[in-house]
């Protein structure tokens, strides 16, 4: 992998990740952009619920469903300049022009998986997917070193139904200035379980799932299953079998095996509802341990288990799972699809 760092016209950082070492990236950003000023984002703490909310009013003006020939994530060409100055690329990461978090409140980056506007992550080759994993890992290390960042979150939102406003295959990386509520809750559960039993809760969950009916896919180094208390109609958790706290700690064997495993899961998601249905909308989220400790009750980061959570809001052909009163008002999920049935269906649509 070759890494080339440059700056866009307004000063934002952009990084090319190339599979070939002989690639030269020297194309300048020729757009007449003003220097990026301080982002108008603010993190406010909810003293009643104990969580935090990012206030980012400048995001109201972000790009919204542009036509394909005006996509800001496609490479630049004569007569049409984009966020990517070069005329081609493998993988690109750059600072978000409309960040939810910036400066002292963290950092937001965009990850473009491929230059092909009509592609999807599932259509990438294993070599391309491996390069994305390398980029995720490299940016996790870089953001973890920023004084304003406590936790790094790599994720992809796919599909207009999810709320995606740019159709080009891409994801994002958030560097949060706090430990997210979901992770803090996991750490507390880990600590409580260890205090009661002396065991690691993640290890016990993985062991029980591998012996049960909800396994979707298992290889030498990875295991994918529908969790016992799945919140979403089709939800899969993907764990490396050797527990590690973050992407940086993955060994080479797990890295080598990941692309084939992940691409297979994504292809199964696209087969869930039949060939006549549009691509399945999903969220794919890497859960990593916070990179600074202290201030949160719970277990240490070494007790945490890196894992990916993949889920869709589509519950059946032509129907979406909307968050209604119980979910949105009280955070109590009601799942229409039994996890065992979801796992069975995900096994049925395996590649032949």
Q: Which residues are catalytic?
A: 170
Strand partners, 284: 156, 310
DSSP string, 63-98: --S--GGG-TTSBPBTTB--SB-SS--SEEEEE-SS
Residue 295, Ramachandran bin (φ over 0: left; ψ between -120 and 50: alpha; else beta): left
Residue 52, helix vs strand vs coil: strand
Specify the long-range contacts of residues 218-222, CB closer than 8 Å, at least 24 apart. 219/257, 219/260, 219/261, 220/253, 220/257, 221/253, 221/254, 221/257, 222/254, 222/257, 222/258, 222/261
Q: How many CB atoms lie within 10 A of CB 199?
A: 12
Residue 164, helix vs strand vs coil: coil
Instruction: Name 136's Cβ contacts closer than 8 Å, sequence gap at least 6.
Output: 111, 154, 173, 247, 286
Residue 198, Ramachandran bin (φ over 0: left; ψ between -120 and 50: alpha; else beta): left
């Amino acid at each position: 992998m070759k890494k080339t760092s440059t700056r866009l016209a307004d000063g934002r950082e952009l990084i090319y990740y190339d599979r070939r070492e002989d690639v030269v990236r020297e194309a300048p950003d020729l757009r007449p952009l003003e220097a990026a000023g301080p982002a108008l984002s603010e993190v406010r703490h909810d003293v009643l619920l104990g969580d935090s909310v990012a206030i980012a009013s400048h995001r109201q003006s972000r790009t919204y469903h542009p036509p394909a020939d005006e996509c800001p994530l496609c490479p630049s060409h004569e007569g049409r300049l984009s966020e990517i100055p070069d005329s081609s690329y493998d993988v690109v990461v750059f600072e978000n022009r409309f960040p939810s978090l910036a400066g002292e409140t963290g950092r937001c980056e965009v990850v473009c998986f491929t230059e092909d506007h009509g592609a999807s992550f599932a259509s990438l080759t294993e070599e391309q997917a491996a390069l994305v994993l390398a980029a995720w890992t490299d940016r996790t290390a870089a953001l973890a070193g920023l004084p304003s960042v406590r936790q790094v979150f790599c994720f992809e939102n796919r599909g207009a139904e999810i709320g995606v406003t740019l159709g080009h295959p891409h994801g994002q990386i958030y560097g949060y200035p706090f430990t997210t509520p979901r992770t803090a809750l996991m750490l507390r559960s880990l600590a409580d379980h260890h205090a009661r039993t002396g065991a690691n809760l993640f290890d016990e969950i993985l062991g029980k799932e591998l012996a049960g009916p909800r396994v979707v896919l298992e290889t030498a180094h990875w295991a994918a299953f529908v969790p016992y208390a799945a919140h979403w109609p089709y939800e899969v958790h993907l764990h490396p079998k050797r527990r590690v706290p973050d992407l940086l700690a993955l060994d080479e064997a797990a890295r080598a095996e990941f692309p084939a495993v992940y691409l297979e899961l994504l292809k199964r998601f696209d087969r869930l509802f039949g060939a006549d249905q549009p691509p399945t909308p999903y969220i794919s989220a890497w859960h990593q341990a916070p990179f600074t400790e202290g201030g949160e009750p719970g277990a240490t980061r070494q007790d945490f288990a890196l894992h990916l959570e993949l889920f869709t809001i589509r519950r059946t052909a032509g129907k979406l799972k909307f968050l209604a009163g119980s979910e949105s008002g009280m955070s109590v999920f009601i799942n229409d699809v039994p996890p065992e049935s979801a796992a069975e269906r995900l096994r049925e649509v395996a590649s032949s």
